[in-house]
Each structure stands twice: as structure tokens, then as C-alpha cells.
Amino acid sequence: MRHHLAGLAAGLALFLISVGSANAAASCGVDGSDAASGEPIVIGAITGKTGPDDFSNSTKAAKAYFDCLNAKGGIHGRPVKYLVEDDQWNPEIAAQLAAKLVNDEKAVLMVGNSSFVECGANAEFYKKSGIIAIAGVGVPRECFFAGSYATTNAGPRVSMLGAMGYALDQLKAKSAVCIGPNIPNVGTWSCDGVMLLAKEKGLAAETILMDPGTADSTSTILQAAASKPDVIILGLPKGVTIPLLTAAEEQGLNQTIKFLSAASAYDLSVPGTIGPSWDGNFFVNMEFNDLEATTPDNQNWLAVMDEYGQSSDPRDTFAQAGYLAARIAEKALMSLDPKDITRESVSAAIRQVKGFSSDIFCAPWYFGDDQARHNANSTTRMAVSEGGKWKVISGCSPSPDPELADIRAFEKSAGLAP
Amino acid sequence: MTFLPFLISGLGIGAVYALSGVGLVVLFRATGVLNFAFGAIGALGAHVAWQLLEWRLPLVVAVVVAVAVATLVSFLYGRLLAPLLSHRDTVVRAVGTLALALVLIAVMGVVWGELPRRLQFPTDQMFLTLFGVRLTYTRILALLLAVIMVGAITALLSRTRLGLDMRALANDRDLSAILGVRIRQTETAAWVITGVFAGLAGLLLGDLVRLQGTFLTFLVIPAIAAAILGQLRSLWMTAIGGLSIGIAEAVLTPIAAISPYRAAAPFVIALIAVTILGSTAQAALKDR
């Protein structure tokens, strides 16, 4: 009996500790409301879950946010019916799924999309159907060159050039090599940006495209190091980045060349995996705030994930993107009369989104009404690997991508930027 | 640009392809099974080694346990499941091993996930510099191991009773059975040997390439290409084939037009090999 009581006391103590250390309660919708029970509002999403990599962290986070919203009154009493479909990294399937969500399910909006193939397959279809996609993670060029497709992330090119900007300004680089994947509209697009900026700034630069499936990282690194650059900028998934860094370390190049990466390598596990020899030598760009930032909205994201997501859902940069997409959608929908929520009224509300602030973003997010393309998130931070962790080493700074000229001009004309 | 540095960088992985190819040929000769699970078995061993090192166990323990686990999995499949398919087509027997590969991928996915990890050995830090490239002792070790293992297996086949039985099985299975060759035992021995090869290759690839279950599983393909170059018979030809594939993939790097696609080299070489050597391989298969 005594043992039993001791166990109970210990259990209670552990419970209290866990409650004490838990994040503040998740906030969404109108706090204090009852669960939504009205007619559902259909929102769709297309994500690349099965295929070369599970790329569905964005929709997982958006789903957690919508579940939270539905538990707290939904959109003026109407719950969101969030339909997530897996495109299996196949453009044909992505197109079929878009038709299903838009034509059959009558979705009024797409939110949190995250795919390597969907933009090319569906951007035009969304435009024709009068539906807008507030995507989480856009990767290829098509995601950033469409009228009805706006992402919350910055994209690999803007992110890589954010890293390049840091190499120029802070590391005083005079020569650079860009390594990207040989995937059309991803690797070339990103590395072309690096080359363009290098040309503008009078830098020597070179591009290497590689097959992400190669077993031989050493040769790629030797090729990159052959021109003895000051910096090597990587735009690859983290599963490919780590073997490249390992090969570079084997060749002793971490001592002589600084390595930088687009946000794809910004994962909390990376600094510990690559080890101490990279301390101060491997930099990443961040599309969003520090994953562990104690700022209110970032903490709310984590609280939503804890309360409404699965414990296995990753808390990474892609999840931040999905959470933000869901919040932007919520804000637009809340501005509408709940009896009049149609694709037209929702699209009109999204077009009016301006100055959406979150401490996860560097600058307020907006939807460029009537713009041929969108890239609202183009201001990024940098972090460096140190002692098994990422250390944020820069404030927010605009990506120096020359291709952003039209975006910057629009921001200026619309009074969104000074 | 000179090709020499890339030649050096291709040696290490080429040696492991050689080792893997020989492991495949030994099994194929004795049992007629083309083991698609070879890479997955090695990957499992490599993950076990990583886990043990993570638990701060000594390197020797990690390496021995990794090879032991790989050998055990190979033994269990060879003893319990492979005999159920022994009277089926070569294709069916090969597809059976695909099932094992899928199960192992799933197990690794559940236990370790697909997060990229690093498996490191102290030999990674030691190196010789040749043509401006560091050749680590891990790569030298891979080369030595490939030569030693091929030598040892050749000796086993030519000097021992087991080797004689294995060669007999390779020549004519039914006749061997009539002559009293203990088929089940001989085949099990081949599975154990291939398990040891898979364990060693997995450890080396986990270090040299990357520690990721699915990725390592598919590295069986260059090994199969090497085995085809050896016509699924010759151990030395297979070893040279594996080494050549590794070097070919590396030396294509400085050729700008091909460089982004060089990862396809093993497949292209395998295709060419099948086209040219197809008839002889057919003959080899007919023996089964």
C-alpha cells in the first residue's frame, strides 16, 4: 500500500512538472467558443507524402491548426473540412487530385500545399477555376510564377541567395560555387540566381548540378573545390547535404572553405549529425524564425502542434509554413459573412490580405492583388552550426535575388515596403 | 582538368561494389538466388553499428555485432524461407528476396526513421594524400578487404570440401544431389557467407556513402551490375567489374555534359553488360 501511495505521489509530481513545463494553451479562432457545428467549409490541399521523401509536414501543421480552429468555434460557427491529398510526387496524380478537390469536392480555397510537382501541374488550373492556393512550401520555379498561387515560404532560390548575400557581406567571399540538384526548374533556377548575383557583384562563380541519388559525394566535392572558391553554396535536401559535408570534411575542406545552404538544411538534427568540426563553418538560411524561438506566435505554433497534432509530426520549417498558411486562411475567412462563403467571396478576401503579421515571418505577409506572381516572403535570417545546435547570427535581411526586382517594385508601389 | 583525383575518389566505393558483387556471386553460384536484399541486410547491420556506437559501446563490439546481425538475418532467410522457393524459377527466387528487402526497409524506417545519420570510424581521420586527394584509411581498408575476401573465398572454393560441394551445386544441382552433396547445408553455408559480405559492405557504405536505409538498399544495383560483368560466375571479374563501376562514376565528374547524370553509370554499364553478355548469362541461368 505504501509503495502504491509513493508511486501515486511520484506520478502526481511528474504530472505537475509536465503541466508546468508545457507550452501555453494553443490559441486559434475565437477563444472560449464551443466546437463548430455548422455546415463545413471545404478547404483542399495537395502534398507529396509518399515518394522520394515525405514532404507533408506543412499539411500536417495546417491540419493541426484547423482542428484547433474547429474546436474553438470554427469560422463563425462553421467548421473547416480540410481535405489533404497525396500527389505521390507525380504531376499526373497531382492534376487528378486538383480536379477532384476543386470540381468534385467544391473546395473554396487550397491551403498549406507542399509539393515538388504540384505547381507545374496545377497553377494554371487553379487560375482558370478561380480558386487561390495559399501554399505552405513551394519548391520549383512554377510555385513563384503563378497568379493564383502564393506560398508562405521564401523558396529555394530566394533562400539560397539570402545565403549568398551573407557570404558577400559578412564572409567577404570573392568566389563561389553553387551546387544544386539536376531537377528541372529547381537546381538550375537556384544556381542561375547565384551566378547572376555573382556577375553583378563581379565575383567568380560556377554551377555544379548533381544527381541527388549519387553514392559518390567525394567527386562532387572535389569538382567544387577544384576552382578553390571562398564559399560553396548548397541547395539540396538535407539527406544529400550531410553526405556532401562528410565528404568535404574527409578532404579537409571544412578548414579552407565556408559552406552555406538554403533553408532545406535548417533542421534541428543537422548540427549534431555533422559534428563539431563544422562549428562556425556551416551556415544555413532560415525562411522563418528560429524553430525554438520563444516569441508568442512561434510558441503558439508549437502549442497547436502539441495539442492538436501528432507527437510524431515534425516541428520543422515546413510545419511553420503550413501553420502560417492556415492562419492566413483563417484571417481571410473570418472577415466574411458565414452565410456567404463561396469560392468567389473567399478569393476576394484573400486578395485583400495585407500586412499579415507573425513573429515567425521576418516581414508582414501579403497577397499581391492582380499580380502575375507572388513571393511575399523574401526576407530571411542566417544561422551557423555551433556546439551541436543552430545559432542565429543575423537579423532579418532582404534576399539580394535580382529576380525579385518586380516584387520589390510592387511592394513599393502598394505602400507595403518603404 | 585531370582525372586522377577522381580516380582516387572512385576507388573506395568501387571496392565496396566489388565486395558486394562477390557476395552476390558466391550466393548465386551455390543456390541460384540473386539476392536483392543484400543492400538492405547490410544497411540493417550498419544501423545496428550506429546504434551501438551511440550507446558508447566500443567500435570492435559495434562492428562485430553489425556483421553478426547481418549474417543472422541472411542465415534465417536462407534456412527458413529460401528452401520454400528452391524448386521455383530463378526469377521467383530473386523476387522472394525483394520481400525480405521491403520488410527490412520497413523495420529500419520504424526503428531509425529516414533522418540522415553519420556512421564514423577512426580510420576516416587517417589518410594518405595522392594527387591532391585524401585517400582515407577507411577506403584503403575497403580495398584490402575486397582483395582479402575474394582471395579467401577463392581458396575456400578450391581447397575445401564445402567449396567442392558449392562448385558441384553451381555446375549441376540435380546431379550433385544424386551424388550425395548435402544441398541444404551447402546452401545455408552460402547464405552465411553472403551475410558476412553484406555486413561488411553495409558498414563501409554507411560510412562512405550515407547511413539511410532505403538508399543503402538500392546500392545493391551497382553490385548486381558488377556481378553481371563477372557473368555471375567469376569472382575476380566481378571484383574488377565493381571497382570499374565505382571509378567510372567518379571519373565522369569533370565532364560537364555528363556530370549531372553520372549516377546512372552503374545502370548503363549493367545494361551494356546484359546486352553483350546476355547469352552467356542465359547459359548460366539454364544450369539452374
* pLDDT tens readout for residues B154-212: 999 999 999 999 988 888 888 888 988 888 899 999 999 999 999 999 999 999 998 98
Domain residues of chain B, as ranges? 4-285
Specify the pTM. Answer: 0.86
Top residue of B20, B210, B214 to mutate, by most chain A CBs within 10 Å, is B210
* pLDDT tens readout for residues A364-377: 999 998 899 999 99
Q: What is the pLDDT of residue A314?
A: 87
Q: Are A45 and A83 in contact (CB under 8 A)?
A: yes
> Is the Cβ of A393 closer than 8 Å to some Cβ of chain B?
no
Q: Are strands A80-86 and A114-115 parallel, antiparallel or unpaired?
A: unpaired
Contacts of A259 (CB under 8 A, 6+ apart): A231, A232, A233, A234, A245, A248, A278, A281, A282, A283
* pLDDT tens readout for residues A121-178: 999 999 999 999 999 999 999 999 999 999 999 999 999 999 999 999 999 999 999 9
Tell me: pLDDT of A15 over 80: no
Q: What is the DSSP letter of A118?
A: H
Q: What is the pLDDT of residue A404?
A: 95
Q: Are B138 and B124 in contact (CB under 8 A)?
A: yes
Q: What's the CA gap between A251 and A389, in Å, rounded?
A: 23
ipTM computed for the complex: 0.87
Cell readout for A280 is 562556425
Q: What's the CA gap between B201 and B222, in Å, rounded?
A: 13
Q: Which residues make beta-bridge pairs with A365?
A: A356
Q: What is the pLDDT of residue A13?
A: 46
Pick among 1.10.3470, 2.60.40, 2.60.120, 1.20.120: CATH of B4-285: 1.10.3470
Q: What's the CA gap between A298 and A307, in Å, rounded?
A: 14
Q: Are strands A109-111 and A133-135 parallel, antiparallel or unpaired?
A: parallel
Closest CA to B267 of B288, B247, B249: B249
Q: What's the CA gap between B235 and B69, in Å, rounded?
A: 25
Residues B118, A210: C-beta atoms closer than 8 Å: no
Q: What is the pLDDT of residue A173?
A: 95
Closest CA to B104 of B152, B170, B42: B42
Mean pLDDT of A25-35: 83
Cell readout for B20 is 558486394
Cell readout for A6 is 509513493
Residues B212, A239: C-beta atoms closer than 8 Å: yes
Q: What is the pLDDT of residue B270?
A: 82
Give the residue ranges of DSSP H helices in A148-295. 156-169, 187-201, 217-225, 238-250, 270-274
Q: What is the pLDDT of residue B25?
A: 94
Quote the crossing angle between the two packed helices B183-208 and B4-31, to the nearest 10°: 160
Cell readout for B182 is 548435402
Q: What is the pLDDT of residue B177?
A: 86
The CA-based angle A147-A148-A153, given to 5 degrees, is 95
Residues B259, A209: C-beta atoms closer than 8 Å: yes
Q: Are B27 and B184 in contact (CB under 8 A)?
A: no
Hunting for cell 571562398 — which residue is that? A230
Cell readout for A257 is 572553405
On chain A, the residues whose CB falls within 8 A of the CB of B116 are 238-239, 242-243, 273
On chain B, the residues whose CB falls within 8 A of the CB of A219 are 6, 9-10, 249-250, 253, 262
What integer best gives the mean pLDDT of chain A?
Answer: 91
Residue A63 pLDDT grade (very low, low, confident, very high; cuts 50, 70, 90): very high
The CA-based angle A15-A17-A20, given to 5 degrees, is 110
Give the residue ranges of DSSP H helices in A52-117. 57-71, 91-99
Residues B246, A210: C-beta atoms closer than 8 Å: no
Closest CA to B273 of B235, B236, B223, B216: B223
Q: What's the CA gap between B119 and B135, in Å, rounded?
A: 18
Residues A53, B246: C-beta atoms closer than 8 Å: no
Q: What count of Cα atoms within 13 Å lies in the side-chain half-sphere of residue A311?
A: 0
Of A26-35, A52-61, A69-78, B228-237, the poorest mean pLDDT is in: A26-35
Give percent of chain B above pLDDT 90.
Answer: 63
Q: What's the CA gap between B63 and B46, in Å, rounded?
A: 8
CA distances from B59 to A150, A214, B54, B63 (A): 51, 28, 10, 6
Residues B249, A213: C-beta atoms closer than 8 Å: no
Quote the crossing angle between the two packed helices B235-251 and B4-31, to the nearest 10°: 150
Q: What's the CA gap between A371 and A355, in Å, rounded?
A: 16
Residues B259, A208: C-beta atoms closer than 8 Å: yes
Contacts of A357 (CB under 8 A, 6+ apart): A364
Tell me: pLDDT of B275 over 90: no
Q: What's the CA gap between A95 and B125, in Å, rounded?
A: 50
Q: Are A226 and A253 in contact (CB under 8 A)?
A: no
> Is the Cβ of B217 closer than 8 Å to some Cβ of chain A?
no
